[in-house]
Amino acid sequence: MKVQIEVREVARYLGLRRGHTLSAEWREQLEKIIKEAEGLVEPGVAWRTYRVAKRLPREIRLVGTDLRITGPHTVARQGEAAYITALSITCGPALEEAAAQAFAIGEYVRGAILDAAGSAAAESLADEVNALVRSEACAQGYSLRARVSPGYGDWSLDIQPQLLQAAGGDKLGITLNEALLLVPRKSITAVIAWTQETGVTEETSRADSCRNCPQTDCRYRKE
């Protein structure tokens, strides 16, 4: 699975707002380093889908896994889910190691761009998996809700070990540090709910989107 990194997404992670015009020199530098970053990505993806066993106001239980979707707001965002897909992706360690090395030798601009490219690459990879899951769901008459990750809203990071195992991310070499953050850093875990509710799309249910995030001053916010 080859990852393509978009200039505008890297610019967003660098804190540049939509409408900001890049000079020809800056765009050339971004494109050059993004191409380098694409060559460093070592993509790994895994996902598994589980049937919903029980839906309570504060918890969703699944068949065949210890993973629980918890928190009243997070549970509500899953709608009347019949199935939940647990997914994990990683860009591998090489890209973030290159960014760290660039910072270490004082190449701060290159390091910042490589780091931003890694974040953009991880989101792009997660979107690709999302599209594959969407195809599976649609073939069976389901639509998807927007994916949700631990640490957002009221879904605690404490669930990361169970989510990582449920998705198969441990087979990709993804681990957790003491703070339950993913290692390599340019990795993502999430769940996606399958539903047969009418009038529901990923866009209308995008509860984890920038549009619905209360942190309106975030430098990475999408316009």
pLDDT at site 208:
43
Write down the pLDDT at residue 153. Answer: 87
The pLDDT of residue 211 is: 53
Domain annotation covers residue 220: no
Domain span holding position 105? 7-212
pLDDT value for 222: 54
Q: What is the pLDDT of residues 104-133, one digit of tens each?
A: 999 999 999 999 999 999 999 999 999 999
Judge whether 160 and 150 are in contact, CB under 8 Å.
yes
111 found inside a domain:
yes
Which two tokens mark 130?
């999302």
DSSP H helices, 81-208, are 94-104, 108-139, 160-167
Number of domains composing the chain: 1
Q: What is the pLDDT of residues 1-10, one digit of tens each?
A: 788 899 989 9
How far is 102 from 219, CA to CA, in rounded Å?
23
Return the pLDDT at 190.
97
- Asked if the structure places residue 221 within a domain, the reply is no
Residue 126 inside a domain? The answer is yes
Which residues have C-beta within 8 Å of that of residue 202, sequence separation ≥ 6? Answer: 130, 134, 143, 144, 145, 146
pLDDT attached to residue 61: 97
**pLDDT score at 204:** 46
How far is CA 5 from each of CA 104, 110, 124, rounded to the nearest angstrom? Answer: 24, 15, 7
8-52 pLDDT tens trace: 899 999 988 766 777 888 889 999 999 999 999 999 999 999 999
**pTM of this structure:** 0.87
Predicted confidence band at 220 (pLDDT cuts at 50, 70, 90)?
very low
Placement of tokens 């895994």 in the chain = 46
41 domain residue, yes or no: yes
CA–CA dist 142, 192 (Å, integer):
12
140-161 confidence digits (pLDDT tens): 999 999 999 999 889 999 999 9
CATH number, residue 127: 3.40.109.40
pLDDT for residue 86 is more than 80: yes
CA dist., res. 196 & res. 25, Å (int): 49
Report yes or no on 218 lying in a domain.
no
Q: Is residue 223 part of a domain?
A: no
pLDDT in tens, 162-214: 999 999 999 999 999 999 999 999 999 999 999 998 655 555 445 445 555 54
In a domain, 201, yes or no: yes
